[in-house]
Structure 1
Amino acid sequence: MNGFTRTTVGADEFRTAMRRLAAGVSIISAPSPKGPLGITATAVTSLTAEPPSLLCCVNKNLVVSEAIKSMGRYAVNVLGQEHCTLARRFAGMDGARGAEKFTAGDWEYTPDGVPRLADSLVSLSCDVDRVVAAGTHDILIGVITDIRTGKQGEPLIYCDGSFSGVLAL
């Protein structure tokens, strides 16, 4: 044994607890045969500097998860506070679905067809290195192939069910 006491925590209790964890907001975008796809995500983090890699978690039941796995590439677009409406759109809060989500925002495409947000704080283009299944989600490990840094700005944060900016201390 590892010395930890095992307890049973329910999914609702876990979700409530995780809502208290403030996180930066990104849009994960990918090409697909039916047009661009994307979702709002907070489960994104750097992994290693050598090779430059990141990790993101995507619900395996979403179409974008299948597109990323089949196409082998995606982008992580880090949002600024001014992208709050776009974050809501890509989270499905305004009713837009699939490629329709991309009718809002200033989108451009990499040479290999990955949509990226032209005015994001930074866009990281990735090739899928590995996919690890974990419960309801896929953990995507992506090797960064290109970085496009945008203008500096205040990052968009999600915490306790709300989007906001970072407040100075």
Structure 2
Amino acid sequence: MLHKPVVDQTAFKLSMRHLAGAVSVITVGEGDERTGFTATSVSSLSADVPSVIVSVNRSSSSWPAVDKYRRFCVNVLSADQQHVAQSFAGFDGRRGAERYEGAQWHELATGTAALSDALTVLDCDLDTVLNHHSHAILIGRVRAIETREDVEPLLYWRGGYRRLAGNLSARPES
């Protein structure tokens, strides 16, 4: 019988800090039940039926709202929206609907709050939930999109927020 090595959780978390990712705020709920969370675990899934993948810890205070409302909005933050990321990450102590203070919001197709000045917004119906260990993998079917072309993304890398420093290389020729 083969013995699989056990990977240390701390080493795994440190390793994952080397993945640079766009910072998004996932909004969910309505009225006083509005809440949300900061995520770097957002990825496109399909363009055929436009859909995205988002991971959320099921012990998160946002999970019950995701499960109840079955829709969410991915708000990809621009470089000047670190304060929004901090608020939705809970670093300033705000919870639930308090996290929406200090930013402008509007609604798209699902009625979920969309950040007015986000780099891009993907308004989604929850299509599928896959539970895996401590997390839920959300597959959202995109219902509406808003995009700005005039700003740079907020990035998260090695435990801190970052900005793009410039292009490393030109786009490949088609």
Instruction: Tell me if structure 2 keeps the 8 A contact 1:107–1:118.
Output: yes
Instruction: Tell me if structure 2 keeps the 8 A contact 1:119–1:151.
Output: no
Q: Is the partner of 1:67 in helix, strand or coil? A: helix
Q: Following the alignment from structure 1 to structure 2, what is the Cα–Cα distance between the partners of residues 68 and 15?
A: 25
Per the alignment, residue 157 of structure 2 pairs with 159
Per the alignment, residue 116 of structure 1 pairs with 114
The aligned amino acid for 2:125 is D
Per the alignment, residue 55 of structure 1 pairs with 53
Displacement of 1:163 in angstroms is 0.2
Instruction: Tell me if structure 2 keeps the 8 A contact 1:117–1:123.
Output: yes
Residue-by-residue CA offset, 1:43-92 (whole Å, 9 max, x unaligned): 00000111000001001111312211211100000001000111111111
Q: Following the alignment from structure 1 to structure 2, what is the Cα–Cα distance between the partners of residues 155 and 127?
A: 24
Are residues 1:27 and 2:46 paired? no
Number of residue pairs aligned between Structure 1 and Structure 2: 167
The aligned amino acid for 1:102 is Y
Q: Following the alignment from structure 1 to structure 2, what is the Cα–Cα distance between the partners of residues 54 and 109?
A: 19
Q: Following the alignment from structure 2 to structure 1, what is the Cα–Cα distance between the partners of residues 35 and 86?
A: 15
Q: Is the partner of 2:33 in helix, strand or coil? A: coil
The aligned amino acid for 2:81 is H
Equivalent pairs: percent with the same residue?
36
Q: Following the alignment from structure 1 to structure 2, what is the Cα–Cα distance between the partners of residues 26 and 51?
A: 21
Displacement of 1:111 in angstroms is 5.3
Per the alignment, residue 123 of structure 2 pairs with 125
- List 4+ stretches of structure 1 deviating above 2 A: 32-35, 109-113
Instruction: Tell me if structure 2 keeps the 8 A contact 1:118–1:150.
Output: no
Q: Is the partner of 1:82 in helix, strand or coil? A: coil
Instruction: Tell me if structure 1 keeps the 8 A contact 2:110–2:143.
Output: no
Displacement of 1:7 in angstroms is 2.1
Per the alignment, residue 94 of structure 1 pairs with 92
The aligned amino acid for 2:7 is V
Structure 1 stretch 28-37 or stretch 9-18: which is displaced more? 28-37
Q: Following the alignment from structure 2 to structure 1, what is the Cα–Cα distance between the partners of residues 130 and 33?
A: 25
Q: Following the alignment from structure 2 to structure 1, what is the Cα–Cα distance between the partners of residues 114 and 106?
A: 6
Instruction: Tell me if structure 1 keeps the 8 A contact 2:108–2:144.
Output: no
The aligned amino acid for 2:111 is G
- Alignment TM-score, normalising by the size of structure 2: 0.89
What is the root-mean-square deviation of aligned Cα atoms in Å?
Answer: 1.8
Displacement of 1:32 in angstroms is 4.1
Displacement of 1:33 in angstroms is 6.2
Q: Following the alignment from structure 1 to structure 2, what is the Cα–Cα distance between the partners of residues 137 and 112?
A: 24
- Alignment TM-score, normalising by the size of structure 1: 0.92
Q: Is the partner of 1:81 in helix, strand or coil? A: coil
